[in-house]
Amino acid sequence: MSRIGKKPIEMPSGVSAAVSGQAIEVKGPKGVRSFKATDDVDLSVDGNVITVTPRGKSKRARQQWGMSRTQIANLVTGVSDGFKKELEINGVGYRAALAGKTLKLSLGYSHDVEFDVPENVTITVAKPTEITVEGIDQQVVGQVAANIREWRKPEPYKGKGIKYKDEYIFRKEGKKK
């Protein structure tokens, strides 16, 4: 029995869902998202509750049960609250600025790094050392944050680079004389 799959998905007010075959479309204040489930699970909407049930006792049906429930729960969270990743920039002279749809990063290279912001993602720069990535698709938000972090990962000696706000950088001691 899937502990995750058994839980029903509660939809907050302002969010609606429609099932057609194996596809579910969720509408909310932040946008519209859809998901197509495999033939191993059944989807049903009763009022403001979405339930996912397996169509058999096979291993694949049980795997798809929990995964489908989690994917649909992420759709509901995305269209109601959205997803957010916060990045911090550490280092002398390292900073970020937003110019239209382009994020300009000064990361100690001989040139500024220009990162084009994708369509369905919002990037805000509150301070020159803080970047916030927001959107309704958890996978896209995480991938954009990872792509920004990839330009200068934090190094273990001084901690310089771009890191997630809640990330712990394991620090190393330098050479001794």
* Residue-level pLDDT, tens digit, the chain, 177 residues: 567 888 888 988 888 888 888 899 999 999 899 999 888 888 888 888 998 888 888 888 888 898 899 999 999 999 999 999 999 999 898 999 998 889 999 988 899 999 999 988 999 999 999 999 999 999 999 999 999 999 999 999 988 999 999 889 899 988 887
| Residue of 3, 27, 9, 8 whose CA lies nearest to 17 | 27
Token code pair at residue 115 = 């990162």
At residue 145's C-alpha, the angle toward residues 140 and 150, to 5°, is: 125
pTM: 0.85
Q: Which domains does the chain have, with CATH numbers?
A: 3-80 (3.90.930.12), 83-164 (3.90.930.12)
Task: Kindly write down the DSSP assignment for every residue of 57-72, as one continuous string.
Answer: SSHHHHHHHHHHHHHH
pLDDT at position 130 is 94
At residue 141's C-alpha, the angle toward residues 140 and 145, to 5°, is: 115
Question: What sign does the dihedral 124-127-131-132 (CA atoms) show?
Answer: negative
φ/ψ bin of 95: left (φ > 0), alpha (ψ from -120 to 50), beta (otherwise): beta
**What is the β-pairing status of strands 41-46 and 49-54?**
antiparallel
Q: Which residue has the tokens 């049903």?
A: 44
pLDDT at position 125 is 93
φ, ψ of residue 78 in degrees (nearest 5) = -65, -45
**Where do the H-state alpha helices sit in the chain?**
3-6, 59-80, 138-150
CA 5 to CA 84: how far, in whole Å? 25
pLDDT at position 83 is 94
Contact 24, 75 (CB under 8 A): yes
